[in-house]
Amino acid sequence: MSAPAPAVPVPAAGTGYIFKTSGLTRRFSGFTAVNDVSIEIPEGGVRTIIGPNGAGKTTFFNLLSGLLPPSEGRMWFRDREITGLPAYQRARLGIARSFQITNIFGRLTVYENVRLAVQAVHDGKANFFLPTARMGKLAERTERVLHDIGLWDARDTRAENLSHGDQRRLEIGLVIARDPPVLLLDEPLAGMSPTETHETVELITRISPGRTILLVEHDIDVVMTISTTITVFQTGGVLAVGTPTEIRANEAVQRAYLGEIA
Amino acid sequence: MTPPNRARRLLLHPLLWTALLFLALPWTAGSDPFHGQWSGFVGIATTMVIFALFASGFNLLFGHVGELSFGHAMFFTLGAYATALYANGFNVTVLGAVLAHGKGDNMLVALALSLLLALLWAWLLARIIIPRSSGIYFSMITLAFAQIVFFTTYRWSDLTGGEDGLQNVARPTLFGADVLRDSDHFYWFAALCVFVALCVLYWILASPFGSVLHAIRENKQRARFLGYDVDKYRVNAFVLSAVFPAIAGWLWTYFQQAINPDAGSVEYSGNVVMMSLLGGMQTFMGPLLGASVYYELQNEVSQATKYWEAWIGVVFVVFVLAGPRGIMGIIDDVRTNGVAAILRNPFKREEPVEPTFDEALKPLDESPAVSETGVR
């Protein structure tokens, strides 16, 4: 079963990159979190961003997803400029993100959480009362997503009563519900037990074909295993880009970042 | 889906309980229709149903979107004055132009005017307020706008009759028959109108639109990042929540056969907040029960003491401390935990893991099995 047709046409692939930024900068009263970043992130694969705390990884995510406006610079999603676009419109284009701190509808059931994410695809086209016929399709897709994230059995539980790992998984479910071409996952493994980490990595691997996944993650073993390329951020700028092997061999990166851990 | 489940859902359906409540209300407040003590007290029941609608409309915004308006009496009073002005006629000069209208006796025209006035005003306010504020600022701005309406009705004596308001509004005829002059008849008329309006409100809340409102209440940011235009939903919800108080105002004028500026006062705006909290703000039935209990209390306590408002305040405080989810929350607790557990420790309870009484508000899509046999 395929996802429902999106209400807003998603820019077609073909530019070769999923995101392009030009001179992207974000300052917070005197502190520059992201400093003049001009990069192209290639289409497809798992594109991981690593870097020490305060390197600007999350701010970069916030700029791409529209949570924060940039102080300077521009950005493109495929061939479409998205610099001034509000967050909800970026979401409709197919830019889906999860947050570092779990961000779900706590007092609604797991089922309602996912159904709302599925329903959002039709928002703008039928924003008021959907025809009853469509409820069946929404239900089908919702059921599918719940099975994908392994929370079907917990569907009638209030989301706030799930374990931390299940809440993180539910958030991934919200993110993949509209079958978006690009996912921004901000530390999806934070605070997880080894078992939960294992399951979630498996989930991310399973949903990655046909999409681009932008990942901010601290678990260096996982990063080295699942990444197609790694972009290393340091003090608001890009220090290096390369395959896991290249990054592991990069002296500047070792000095700046890996050296602290390995 | 198994038949017993379906029967249970039907049995717990809020609209069924609303209908039962409205059938039972004339028997409250010391009235006893079986022994001829009906007409003197049925007025309290009429007040209850009208305020049930007013509070329910207000609660669309308060309980379901999570925005506290401190000025919803403005829509009530707009509906009420539109009705009174239409019924009594008016003749004023505005900026040199004479605006005049004779008496009107078509209650549907009065209803249309009430709705139109409230809709226009609500839409204008929503466009100004919603993109700029939420939380406490939203409450303050709605209060300020309500004061504008209040002082207009208070000061524009040529049109509104000032402090005295508009008197001697004739009850409308029903298909040409003068039956609504009778208090009993008027109660059933009002109860029916309110019930129909509440069915519409229920439909709104149970629709996909309603569930997006709940999503916005729970987590605006998440709703936005799913692709929902949150402010558009808030504007629509604001306008919708103005409609129901305006209908209540329309009924109120015909019921009282008079209207004065009090209908738009801060006190009225505050009363519906209290009713919603008392009944349970995140439920459909809550404001209805809240309005009924509020006037029942007022009736009983005011016979015993002239300080009845203070005692209602005490009840209110106890509710906020011991039962923050209101009467509906208590009903839920009793169903999940049993009476004994609650009496043992009235101030601390676990919330149920799964939604209980409210589940009837999510009729179609709780699980696919349910949606296949949806009632709608």
| CB proximity B353 to A under 8 Å | yes
* A177 contact partners, CB below 8 Å, separation of at least 6: A114, A117, A118, A120, A121, A141, A142, A145, B226
Q: What is the pLDDT of residue B4?
A: 58
Residue whose pair of structure tokens reads 């073909």 in the numeric block: A14
Q: Is B212 on the interface with A (CB under 8 A)?
A: yes
Is B350 within 8 Å of chain A by CB?
no
Dihedral of the alpha carbons of B343, B347, B350, B351, in degrees to the nearest 10: 100
Kindly list the residues from chain A whose CB atom is less than 8 angstroms away from the CB atom of residue B223. 116
- Looking at residue B62, what is its pLDDT? 92
Nearest CB neighbour to A91, from listed B226, B353, B354 = B226
pLDDT at B278 over 50: yes
Query: Looking at residue A1, what is its pLDDT?
Result: 40
Confidence of residue B356 (pLDDT cuts 50, 70, 90): very low
Cβ neighbors of A145 (< 8 A, separation 6 or more) are: A114, A117, A118, A173, A176, A177
- Those residues of chain A that have pLDDT short of 50 are 1-6, 127, 262
Nearest to A91 among B227, B232, B355 (CB): B227
Q: Are B252 and B50 in contact, with CB atoms under 8 Å apart?
A: yes
Task: Quickly list H helices, A106-256.
Answer: 110-119, 132-148, 164-176, 194-207, 220-226, 244-249, 251-253
Contact between chains at A119 and B223 (C-beta distance less than 8 A) = no
Q: How high is the pLDDT of residue A74?
A: 93
Q: Which chain B residues have a beta carbon less than 8 Å from that of A89?
A: 227
Helix (H/G/I), strand (E/B), else coil: A254: helix
Token code pair at residue A3: 């996802």
Whole-angstrom CA distances from B6 to A38, A167, B1, B200, B374 are: 59, 30, 7, 22, 10
More confident residue, B255 or A123: B255
Cα dihedral: A65, A71, A75, A80 (round 10): 80
pLDDT at residue B373 in the model: 30
Q: Is the pLDDT of residue B200 over 80?
A: yes
Of A57-66, A171-180, B30-39, B279-288, the poorest mean pLDDT is in: B30-39
pTM for the whole thing? 0.86
CB A165 within 8 A of CB A201: no
Predicted local confidence at residue B99, as pLDDT: 81
Boundaries of every domain in chain B: 40-263
Is B318's pLDDT higher than 80? Answer: yes
Minimal Cβ distance to B226: which of A129, A161, A174: A174
CB B77 within 8 A of CB B249: yes
